[in-house]
């Protein structure tokens, strides 16, 4: 679908973005592992969490969904019983990687398949450690889906230092480790999102500045009955849009504020954004609150590579903020971006090209020359079927002088099905 986006002079209003995608997917998978009923409130309607829910059902849980409430009757770790020899993870890397851990732990033999984008993303990062735990994984060219996951030998608990700061890899190994008699330990030097540790209540020690997270059969899997907060990564589009469009004020309600996710908030504040937080509270094991953003004059920033894991999904929209900041901004140490739903460094570069932006592409990031007065007529954007590129392009389009076009705009539904309606609502203010 090609979406036309008209210029907007300001954005105003209150919205509640969809439920957190990472937490929704974990809630479904952990509820499968829990022996008993979980009532998950505000489960995300987006495509990725729905793919995960279908997989959880095919692994033997009974799932009932009524509006945004999902009831999962889990069978416990030993009750996992694949009802199909194939699980379709759609576009979701989180589903494929976390479920691989569950399959290896439970010793189930299943094919994991995905859409063309997911089938082009490397799974080597999970294959090697899972094989060292006793699994046997067949993959196209040794690293791509479809994956056939099986384990006939006894599970071998491991100590594994993460070679990249990836929460999907961390969670995959910990989920397999939950089935071991002795603990599997994952060692993390650069912290990544910690929803798995929080929602499973895992032991975390800090040794020599590194986080050591353990999982074994001794961990009781908690009931996953809680309300999922709105997705900070979805709110991110409005944080930038509200900052760069004049006379704007947007209130984002009940948004997840887990500090391992809110890197963009700190970055925008350093850039001079006008953002405040109200009603801070806990939603289950996760902090949440309302975020209010008002227009502001942004200035440039040179990102510390250490913050990249805490804003990795927000870099496409941050690039739009950098376009309208005073001075030259730098994103570096972000090579991981090349391994997302698409090569996002390339895709950001193409997005900036579409409006004549001034930037330099590097192997691990971008240097972006900002200009608060930057003007362009309109853009023809290719989203590369990547939800976050489609939504970042939409925000950039609002700054054009005439209508812009976004190709494969329907991809927004992977994480944010109501994005286009929310945009219309804020434009009408």
**Residue 173 region, left (φ>0) first, then alpha (ψ -120 to 50), else beta?**
alpha
Q: Is 22 in the site for ligand S3P (CB under 6 A)?
A: yes
CB nearer ligand S3P, residue 226 or residue 324: 226
313 is catalytic: yes
Q: 230, 414, 386, 417: which is closest to 316 by C-alpha?
A: 386
- Give the Cα separation of 97 and 93 in Å (integer): 6
Q: Is 94 in the site for ligand S3P (CB under 6 A)?
A: yes
Query: How buried is residue 315: exposed, middle or buried, by Cβ count under 10 Å (0-12/13-18/19+)?
Result: buried
The Cβ-side half-sphere exposure at 42, using a 13 Å CA radius, reads 19
Binding range to ligand S3P, per CB under 6 A, among 31-39, 163-171, 277-285, 375-383? 163-171
Binding range to ligand S3P, per CB under 6 A, among 106-114, 167-175, 182-190, 199-207? 167-175
Q: Which helix (H) or strand (E) holds 282?
A: strand 274-283
Q: Which of 42, 108, 168, 393 binds ligand S3P (CB under 6 A)?
A: 168
Q: Which of 313, 382, 386, 422 is catalytic?
A: 313
CB nearer ligand S3P, residue 283 or residue 290: 283
CB nearer ligand S3P, residue 171 or residue 214: 171
Burial 205-223 (b: 16+ CB within 10 A, else e): eeeeeebbbbbbbebebbb
Q: Is 197 in the site for ligand S3P (CB under 6 A)?
A: no
Binding range to ligand S3P, per CB under 6 A, among 59-67, 162-170, 223-231, 325-333? 162-170
Q: Which of 20, 313, 314, 386 binds ligand S3P (CB under 6 A)?
A: 313
Q: Which helix (H) or strand (E) holds 14?
A: strand 12-15
CA angle 95, 100, 105 (to 5 degrees): 130
CB of 337 to ligand S3P, least distance (A): 9
Residue, CB closest to ligand S3P: 22
CB nearer ligand S3P, residue 165 or residue 357: 165
Crossing angle, helix 232-244 and helix 387-397, to 10 degrees?
Answer: 20
Q: Is 314 in the site for ligand S3P (CB under 6 A)?
A: no
Binding footprint of ligand S3P on the chain (CB under 6 A): 22, 94, 166-168, 171, 192-193, 312-313, 336
């Amino acid at each position: 679908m090609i979406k036309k986006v008209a210029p907007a002079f300001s954005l105003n209003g209150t919205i509640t973005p969809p439920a957190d995608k990472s937490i929704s997917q974990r809630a479904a998978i952990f509820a499968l592992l829990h022996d008993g009923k979980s009532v998950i409130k505000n489960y995300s309607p987006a495509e990725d969490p729905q793919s995960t829910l279908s997989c959880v059902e095919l692994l033997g849980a009974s799932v009932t969904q009524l509006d945004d409430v999902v009831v999962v009757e889990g069978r416990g770790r030993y009750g996992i019983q694949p009802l199909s020899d194939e699980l379709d993870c759609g576009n979701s890397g989180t589903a494929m990687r976390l479920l691989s851990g569950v399959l290896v732990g439970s010793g189930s033999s299943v094919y994991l398949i995905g859409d063309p984008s997911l089938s082009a993303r490397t799974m080597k990062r999970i294959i090697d450690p899972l094989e060292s735990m006793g699994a046997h994984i067949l993959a196209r060219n040794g690293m791509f889906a479809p994956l056939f996951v099986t384990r006939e030998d006894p599970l071998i608990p491991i100590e594994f230092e993460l070679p990249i700061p990836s929460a999907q890899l961390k969670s995959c190994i910990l989920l397999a480790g939950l089935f071991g008699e002795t603990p599997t330990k994952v060692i993390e030097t650069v912290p990544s999102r910690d929803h798995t540790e929080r929602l499973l209540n895992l032991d975390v020690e800090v040794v020599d500045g590194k986080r050591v997270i353990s999982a074994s059969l001794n961990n009781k899997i908690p009931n996953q009955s809680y309300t999922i907060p709105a997705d900070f990564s979805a709110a991110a589009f409005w944080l930038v849009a509200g900052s760069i469009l004049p006379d704007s004020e947007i209130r984002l309600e009940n948004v997840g504020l887990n500090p391992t996710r809110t890197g963009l908030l700190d970055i925008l504040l350093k850039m001079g954004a006008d953002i405040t937080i109200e009603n801070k509270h806990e939603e289950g094991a996760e902090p949440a609150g309302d975020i209010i953003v008002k227009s502001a004059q942004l200035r440039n920033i040179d990102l510390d590579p250490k913050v990249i894991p805490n804003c990795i999904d927000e870099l496409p929209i941050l690039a739009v903020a950098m376009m309208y900041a005073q001075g030259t901004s730098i994103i570096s140490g972000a090579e991981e971006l090349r391994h997302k739903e698409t090569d996002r460094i390339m895709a950001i570069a193409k997005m900036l090209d579409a409006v004549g932006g001034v930037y330099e592409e590097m192997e691990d990031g971008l240097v972006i020359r900002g200009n608060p007065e930057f003007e362009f007529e309109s853009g023809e954007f290719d989203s590369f079927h990547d939800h976050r590129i489609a939504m970042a392009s939409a925000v950039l389009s609002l700054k054009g002088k005439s209508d812009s076009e976004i190709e494969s705009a329907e991809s927004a539904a992977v994480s944010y099905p109501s994005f286009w309606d929310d945009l219309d609502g804020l434009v009408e203010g």
